[in-house]
Every structure is written in C-alpha cells, then in structure tokens.
Amino acid sequence: MAQWHIGVIGGSGLYDPGALTDAQEIEVGSAFGAPSGPVTTGFIGGVRFTFLARHGKGHRFSPSHVNYRANIDVLKRCGVTDVLAISAIGSLQERYAPGQFVVVDQLIDRTTGRERSFFGQGITAHVPLADPVCPRLSRLAAKAAENAGATTHHGGTYVAIEGPQFSTRAESTLYRAWGADVIGMTAMPEARLAREAELPYALVGMVTDYDCWREPDGDVDVADILRVMAGNAENARAMLAELGAALPKTRSASPIDTVLDTAIITPQEAWDPALAARLDAVAGRLLAQVPEQDD
C-alpha cells in the first residue's frame, strides 16, 4: 500500500490549481528539455496534488509545441503516482453537449510531428496500450465530476489531431464514421508517455463545442469555446476537490506501476549509458536494479 500523489495536467482555461493548501510553485528540470512551466504542489482533502499547466502560463505553447516528454518526466520526478489530464474537447456526437464532461476510455492517434517515446536507439521498449487509460482512476474521476454537478459521460473515444487548425468538415465526418466521440489535440502522445513512465493515466474531457460536422452550426469558433470553457473550468476545480475527498486512504498497486518489466526488450548489458541516464526518473525503478559494473 502507498499514498496517492495525483499529477494534474491542466488544459486550456485550467491554469489555476484551485483550493490547494500548503501550495508551493517549484521549477523542476527534465532530462528531455524544458517542460511547459513550473509545477504547483500542495494538498486537496489531505491528498498531495501536483499541477502542471500543459500550455504554459498565458497559453504560450500550441498543442504541437508542448514538450510532452518533459512534462511527464517532471511529474515522475515529483513522485506522482497517477496522472489526471483535463482537456478542452470538441464533440463528434449529438449526445455529448457543450458544458458536459467525457471521461475518455479509448484514443485514436492522428498526430504526426511529436516525440512519441522516451525510449529509442540504445534501449527499446514496447509498452502495451490496448487500454490506454487507467480504469480505476477514470472511475474515481467520473464519480468526482458527477458529485461536482457536471453532466458526465463514462467512456468515449477521443481522436487526437495534430492541429493547431481545427478539422475540415470532411475530416470531422470521417472521424464520426470511425466511431470517434470527441476530438482534441493533446491526449497523444501524452497518454503513450504516461504509460512508458508507469503512470496510470485518466482523461477528463470538457466539451466546449460541437465540431464542424454539425450543420447548420458552421465552423468552430474560438470565442464560443472560451465562453464555455470558463464554466467548465469551475466544474473541473470542483471535481478535483471531490476527488481529493473521495480517494481511498491508501493506494493499492496498479498493473501499470510495473509495465516496463515486460516492455523493455534490450538486454541490460546492451543498454546505451547516455539514454539510461536520461531515463533516471521514467525507468528509475529498473535502473536501480541494474548491478554496478566493476572498473
């Protein structure tokens, strides 16, 4: 048994971590470059939460320019046990209306230009990703959102696009035909990297608009999105308060905590030392088991 430490990656409009007690803002460096900004850490309901603004203060980073590897690496370095991502999303289905929450359970990755893995030449790893989110954390987050008063959908398929432009109408219609329910620009490779870092990941999407498939509404408009986002952010902060109060007193182990045990196929004696050094947080649990070499 262990204590919970929830890392919150806030999407657009959620830069205020809310009612944290003993809050501290800390600059944390990463072996994978600069993260989006400092973390803010403190307590909600007696549980430690560490908050990181995905797009940086003032929304400085577009979805394609967020350093997802550094962000996940920093949360791991902070001792986070689980990651809750909160993101603005568009709806691809009539039943998911603006102002509602969707706790995503599946992802389709249409991003093209982002670093997708901590591993690579020198240490190869293939983590399983059939179920890309943590069912336990997702259930807890969904219940917390409902208790906060948000209309909440349990499950939904999120299609992650590169952006920063919104979809064409033909693309939006295609994604609906694929069975996608909501659309956004940030869940991938964020979820992939969280899995490689052995961090259970859940995604609460805050619906801001219907994507452009829905005629006669026309195109997606940023001004409309921002209006809905303000109310969504209040519900999201209330959700975090409910989550902090409802988490079990101790955290039982998750299979994701040790997913690298069967994912790394490069034998330890062949590991690239430079890459292994960069993985001191992501794969620190395994690196600590590597026997020291005699000089």
Instruction: Please name the residues in contact with 99: beta carbons below 8 A apart, sequence gap of 6 or more.
Output: 151, 207, 228, 231, 232
* CA-wise closest residue to 18 among 233, 186, 246: 233
Catalytic status, residue 22: no
Q: Which residues of 12-51 are buried (b: 16+ CB within 10 A; e: fewer)?
A: bbbbebbebeeeeeeebebbbeebbbbbbbbebeebbbbb
What type of residue is 91? S
131 is catalytic: no
**What is the residue whose two structure tokens read 């967020």?**
66
For 284, list phi and psi in degrees, rounded to 5: -60, -30
**Catalytic residue (one of 105, 211, 217, 257):** 211
Tell me if 13 sits within 8 A of 229, measured CB to CB. Answer: yes
- Distance, in Å, from the CA atom of 223 to the CA atom of 128, rounded to the nearest integer, reads 39
CA dihedral 208, 213, 215, 221 (to 10 degrees): 40
How many CA atoms within 13 Å lie on the side-chain side of 40? Answer: 20
DSSP string covering 74-126, please? HHHHTT-SEEEEEEEEEESSTTS-TT-EEE--EEEEE--SS---S-BTTB-B-
Pairing of strands 47-53, 5-10: parallel
Q: Which one is catalytic: 209, 217, 294, 295?
A: 209
Residue 261, amino acid: D
Give residue 181's region: left, alpha or beta (phi > 0; psi -120 to 50): alpha
Catalytic residue IDs: 209, 211
